[in-house]
Amino acid sequence: MTPPKRGSRGESAGVVGGWGDLAVAAVLTVAAAAVLLSAAPPPPLRWGFGVPFLLVWPGYAVVSALYPERPSEESTAASGTHFGGRNSGGTYSETASRAAALANPGWTARAALSLASSGVVVALVVIAANRVAAVRTGPVVVGLLLVTLAGLGVAAGRRLLVAPEDRAAPVGAMTGGVATVREGGSGPAGGPSGGPFTRGTGGGSAATKRQTVALVVAAALLVVTVAVAGAVPPQGEGFTEATLLAENESGDLVATDYPTTFVAGEGHPLTVAIENNEHRPVTYEVVVLAQDVDADGSVTAQRQIDEFDVDTDHGERELVERQIAPETTGEGVRLRFLIYTDGADGADGEGSSAANGSDTADAEVDPEDADQVLQLWIDVVDERDE
């Protein structure tokens, strides 16, 4: 019987299988970053894109860059050698197969490594962002975006250097395996090589299929569960969302591009976004402090520079722009926006002087009592230094 010829369909499937997963990961990573950096993304959208952005794509990029070749058991099945079986020369190759599997793990192990690696990448980016510009949404999202895209780029380049028959192709392996099972052959449609779902002469491919499907389903359930839990909190559980926004060059409010240098006595616009999901009307009290912090993180002095109220109904989101004007100069000053759901004890009577542009020294407001805290690190300079 004449073997089936490779046509344009097979060639296009090879292209999609070899780089399709990287392209999808890149597109979803960019989309997630755009959603997270926007001024007010809806919670379902934010969680739906944000959870994979943190838990999946960074690690997937790293693992794809580390392992550009297809798994060892897949290559072994294609060459007729099986784990724990005999090779073409009739000798056992179990030890060699296990060593190859450790050096070039299967799809199941790669998926697990991707989830674990994502946590490591996120932690490193957060640490780096904290050293450069404090932990804020903008720098962390941009850092993860750059690291993930860099990893995907390296993965694509390394796959290009691998022979097509040995190249890692998750999409091609899945589609090829399904075609093989349907046709009852020993390899993917249009070729003799085996995927993780092929019916080879050994039993490893069936086990690999079950493991891969189980892990993919478990990972998908994990991501969906976390996303749904964040986007749709239990009925009756109230919460408040607060975000600090600044205006970019285009005039849009974004959670990045914050001013970092303030001139003493001059107002600098910052916007506080508060969304009420408390299932009741709430009047929020916001107290703004300027804190001097020493090397070990202890607060040596703090001054109240603003105070205002925000009235909201359930489900309502308010944007309040304030002119923040610290009076005392200094480097590494920490602005803290303390948001109280039921009012701030000890803050009464301080707001009038703060609103008029003067610091209230030794403010007695305790940040530990705040329901939400937003912060920004700034330098306050004298006008003569400008």
Lowest mean pLDDT among 161-165, 202-206, 330-334, 352-356: 352-356
Please compute Rg for the chain using Cα positions.
28
pLDDT digits (tens, 9 = 90+) for 255-279: 888 888 999 999 999 999 999 988 8
Sole residue written with tokens 């450069």: 132
Give the confidence band of 386 by pLDDT, cuts at 50, 70, 90: low
Amino acid letter, residue 64: S
DSSP strand pairing (299-312 vs 282-293): antiparallel
Give the confidence band of 109 by pLDDT, cuts at 50, 70, 90: confident
What the block records as the tokens of 40 is 């007010």
Half-sphere exposure of 104 (CA within 13 A, CB side): 16
The residues near 164 (Cβ < 8 Å, ≥ 6 apart) are 14, 18
Question: How buried is residue 42: exposed, middle or buried, by Cβ count under 10 Å (0-12/13-18/19+)?
Answer: exposed
Cα→Cα distances 147→68, 143, 157, Å: 18, 6, 15
DSSP label at 328? S
- Residue 173 predicted with pLDDT over 50: yes
**What percent of the chain is predicted at pLDDT more than 90?**
32
Angle at which helix 57-66 crosses helix 107-133, to 10 degrees, equals: 120
Sole residue written with tokens 């009852």: 184
- Residue 71 predicted with pLDDT over 50: yes
- Beta strands (DSSP E) in the chain are 239-247, 253-254, 261-263, 268-277, 282-293, 299-312, 317-324, 330-340, 360-361, 372-381
Amino acid letter, residue 216: V
71 contacts 83 by C-beta, under 8 angstroms: no
pLDDT digits (tens, 9 = 90+) for 86-98: 454 544 455 555 5
The residues near 56 (Cβ < 8 Å, ≥ 6 apart) are 114, 115, 118, 219, 223
Q: How many CB atoms lie within 10 A of CB 186?
A: 17
- Residue 203 predicted with pLDDT over 70: no
Which residues are registered as beta bridge partners of 376? 335
Q: Do you know the residue count of the chain?
A: 386
242 contacts 231 by C-beta, under 8 angstroms: no
26 contacts 146 by C-beta, under 8 angstroms: no
CA 204/CA 104 separation, integer angstroms = 16
The secondary element (H helix, E strand) that includes residue 29 is helix 8-37
The residues near 205 (Cβ < 8 Å, ≥ 6 apart) are 73, 77, 194, 195, 196, 197, 198, 199
DSSP strand pairing (253-254 vs 360-361): unpaired
CA 330/CA 327 separation, integer angstroms = 10
Spelled out in words, what is the top-level CATH class assigned to the domain 239-385?
Answer: mainly beta
CA 162/CA 19 separation, integer angstroms = 12
Lowest mean pLDDT among 35-49, 199-213, 276-290: 199-213
